[in-house]
């Protein structure tokens, strides 16, 4: 039975990003992220065949269960269902949230990326369980990313949107405190973590800032 989400785990929201992982596999990176105590992990992969992604997600599903962490699959609803992930995360150009709900059912978590107040309000109306807020700063992680939304949109969501949310996009150790001051409680730092030679050590330093 999938966990019913009332709020995202506070702290770090982990993501895979193999092209930025210094030659390490998604599995190895996830092992270090979960080993550092992160309680939510999203599998984000754009360049592999479906079978390979499925096989990786099977392993990650077991790893997250053992770690007591939520497991979210980005974009691929079929793979999320096939491995019994806790949920899926979709973007503005993917299937609308109501359609996703019909496919994955009532018990799965649905997250949706948002870049404006209008998109955030629509996510609420459509029945999303949480939203992504970003990119806060310029990011090189995604090639099709929109312009940075900045801290103003982050503050808007913190003050006006009654959904759990994760701040994402260009967040690093040096600007993490600023993101926290503007209302974020769950934060995704992708390259800062997966691109670190010492993932566990970096996460520990970030957790000290988050408090």
- Is residue 113 annotated as part of the catalytic site, yes or no? yes
Give me the catalytic one of 39, 44, 61, 108. 44
Give me the catalytic one of 142, 155, 185, 200. 142
- Is residue 142 annotated as part of the catalytic site, yes or no? yes
Report the C-alpha gap between 1 and 152 in whole angstroms.
37
- Is residue 44 annotated as part of the catalytic site, yes or no? yes
Report the C-alpha gap between 100 and 127 in whole angstroms.
10
Token pair 């009532």 is at which residue? 106
141 φψ region: left (φ > 0), alpha (ψ -120 to 50), beta (else) = alpha
70 by DSSP, 3-state: which? strand
Long-range contacts at 92-96 (CB < 8 A, ≥ 24 apart): 92/119, 96/126
Give me the catalytic one of 17, 21, 113, 196. 113
Token pair 């299937």 is at which residue? 95
How is 163-183 classified by DSSP, letter by letter?
S-EEEESS--TTTHHHHHHTT
Cis-peptide into 135, omega within 30 deg: yes
Active site residues: 44, 113, 142
């Amino acid at each position: 039975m999938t966990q019913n989400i009332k709020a995202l785990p506070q702290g770090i929201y982990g993501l895979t990003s193999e092209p930025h992982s210094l030659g390490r596999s998604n599995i190895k990176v996830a092992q270090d992220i979960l080993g550092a105590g992160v309680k939510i992990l999203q599998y984000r992969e754009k360049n592999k065949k479906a079978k390979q992604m499925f096989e990786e997600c099977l392993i990650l599903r077991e790893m997250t269960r053992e770690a007591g962490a939520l497991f979210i699959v980005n974009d691929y609803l079929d793979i999320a269902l096939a491995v019994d992930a806790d949920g899926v995360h979709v973007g503005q150009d993917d299937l609308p949230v109501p359609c996703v709900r019909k496919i994955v059912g009532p018990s799965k978590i649905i997250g949706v990326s948002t870049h404006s107040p209008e998109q955030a309000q629509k996510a609420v109306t459509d029945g999303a369980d949480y939203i992504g807020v970003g990119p806060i700063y310029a990011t090189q992680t995604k090639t099709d990313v929109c312009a940075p939304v900045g801290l103003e949109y982050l503050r808007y969501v913190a003050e006006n949107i009654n959904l759990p949310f994760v701040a994402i996009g260009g967040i690093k150790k040096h600007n993490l405190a600023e993101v926290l001051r503007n209302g974020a409680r769950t934060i995704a730092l992708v390259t800062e973590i997966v691109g670190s030679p010492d993932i566990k050590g970096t996460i520990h330093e970030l957790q000290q800032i988050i408090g």
